[in-house]
Amino acid sequence: MKGIVSKVVMGAAALGLLLAPAAWAENIKVGAILAATGPMSFLGGPETRTLEMLVAETNAKGGINGNQVELILKDSTGNPEKAVSFAKQLIEEDKVVVIIGPSSSGETMQIKKIAEDGKTPLLSCAAAEVIVDPVASYVFKTPQKDSDAVKMIYKEMNKLGLANIAILVDNTGFGKAGQEQLVKIAPEFNIKVAENEVYDKAANDLSAVVAKIKANKEVQAVVNWSVVPAQSIVAKNIRQMGWDVPIFQSHGFGNIKFVEAAGAAADGIIFPASRLLIASDLPDGHPQKALLVKYKKDYEDKYKENVSAFGGYAYDAFVIFEAAVKKAGSTDRDKVRAAIEQLKGLPSATGIFTFSEKDHNGLTMDAFQMMTVKGGKFVAYPAK
């Protein structure tokens, strides 16, 4: 059976739409809980499309170890309660080998224990470091570490002579986790946090909080740590007030749609991100270049939209899953989990993964590239 073998579950009414079990007896079942639609679809949409593309490609080549991959995709719409329900179904009813996702840190933290108790490997596409710290045996994540992103930002601030900063974060799990790391690591780089504010993820005007931090004359730079569209509003409000302060973003800025939403205000923003965003600019011979260029071309040709770092996190999860099943020579959950921990030097979209019993993220600071926005496009920092 060629092509993608997939079931998309969009809500409770569709939960019973299962294909005949006998038809899939030899298939390798992969579960995915992603925000394919809804307010978090800027994360889950690219992840969903990436997985569907990779599964189709894999099955067209004969599958994994001769078996076709069956993708059981469940759309959480970013709702933690749905994520919990779907996780239980995938583990107990569908008996999947692994679960890819969820898209957000909040959802992931809600199902972390479920995956652990169900002894089912979870390959989260969310970024918060608390997902894998402390380590849980069956829980892994593909985005880079928050702490490494903070260190990359602070190193650049040191080079630029910026010592007093304002922190703005959204009220998501990603924002909370980033805020904690920003505050914790600041003293290591002689950075003083002069302002520290949280804004609503659904906000459409953040001029009040921007005015508050602008009034503090100590502030030399702003770190806007967010994974929601409101981060673009922060940048617009800052520039609309005529404030020419350096703006730093987290790796949650790695979707060109955020740049488009911010318009001219995005130019000059500095942030750490996956090299996927500038794949064609990498030097020949870079261990990630060939796969990044192929993924970018395949995705953009198929879906007529720009690739994003978020889709890259799902790409990583599938690559890790496939490599682990091949290494284990089995679809036994325990053997696949053990195989993931044994993966070393595995190139993928976000970086080169090396896992261990103590490291369930598998990435170092080398997985980041400092970037900026120039003329509405992502380019390596400093821009030429």
Residues 197-240: tens digit of each pLDDT: 999 999 999 999 999 999 999 999 999 999 999 999 999 999 99
Asked whether 210 and 241 are in contact (CB, 8 A), the reply is: yes
The whole-model pTM stands at 0.90
pLDDT at site 275: 96
pLDDT at 17 over 60: no
- Region 301-311: mean pLDDT is 97
Higher pLDDT, 58 or 20: 58
pLDDT digits (tens, 9 = 90+) for 256-304: 999 999 999 999 999 999 999 999 999 999 999 999 999 999 999 999 9
Q: Residue 365 and residue 75: Cα distance in Å, rounded? A: 32
C-alpha closest to that of 44 among 36, 52, 54, 53: 36
For the chain, give the mean pLDDT.
93
pLDDT at site 84: 98
pLDDT at site 246: 98
- Region 153-165: mean pLDDT is 98
Asked whether 158 and 190 are in contact (CB, 8 A), the reply is: yes
pLDDT at site 384: 83
Domain residue spans of the chain: 5-144+290-353, 146-273+368-380
Q: For Cα atoms 288, 294, 297, give the angle at the middle one, nearest 5 degrees.
A: 130
pLDDT at 3 over 90: no
Find residue 77's DSSP bridge partners: none
3-state secondary structure the chain: CCCCEEEEECCHHHCCCCCCHHHHCCCEEEEEEECCCCCCHHHHHHHHHHHHHHHHHHHHCCCECCECEEEEEEECCCCHHHHHHHHHHHHHCCCCCEEECCCCHHHHHHHHHHHHHCCCCEEECCCCHHHCCCCCCCEEECCCCHHHHHHHHHHHHHHHCCCEEEEEEECCHHHHHHHHHHHHHHHHHCCEEEEEEEECCCCCCCHHHHHHHHCCCCCCEEEEECCCCHHHHHHHHHHHCCCCCCEEECHHHCCHHHHHHHHHHHCCCEEEECHHHHHHHCCCCCCCHHHHHHHHHHHHHHHCCCCCHHHHHHHHHHHHHHHHHHHHCCCCHHHHHHHHHCCCCEECCCCEECCCCCCCCCCCHHHCEEEEEECCEEEECCCC
Q: Residue 359 and residue 356: Cα distance in Å, rounded? A: 5
pLDDT digits (tens, 9 = 90+) for 53-78: 999 999 999 999 999 999 999 999 99
pLDDT at site 26: 78
pLDDT digits (tens, 9 = 90+) for 171-190: 999 999 999 999 999 999 99
pLDDT at site 43: 95
Tokens 């990630």 -> residue: 288
- Structural fold of domain 5-144+290-353: Rossmann fold (3.40.50)
Q: For the chain, give the percent of residues with pLDDT over 90.
A: 93
Amino acid at position 94, single letter: D
CATH class entry, domain 146-273+368-380 = alpha beta
- Region 70-91: mean pLDDT is 98
pLDDT digits (tens, 9 = 90+) for 100-146: 999 999 999 999 999 999 999 999 999 999 999 999 999 999 999 99
Amino acid at position 378, single letter: F
pLDDT at site 7: 52
Q: Residue 339 and residue 214: Cα distance in Å, rounded? A: 51
Whether omega before 134 lies within 30 degrees of 0, making that bond cis, reads yes
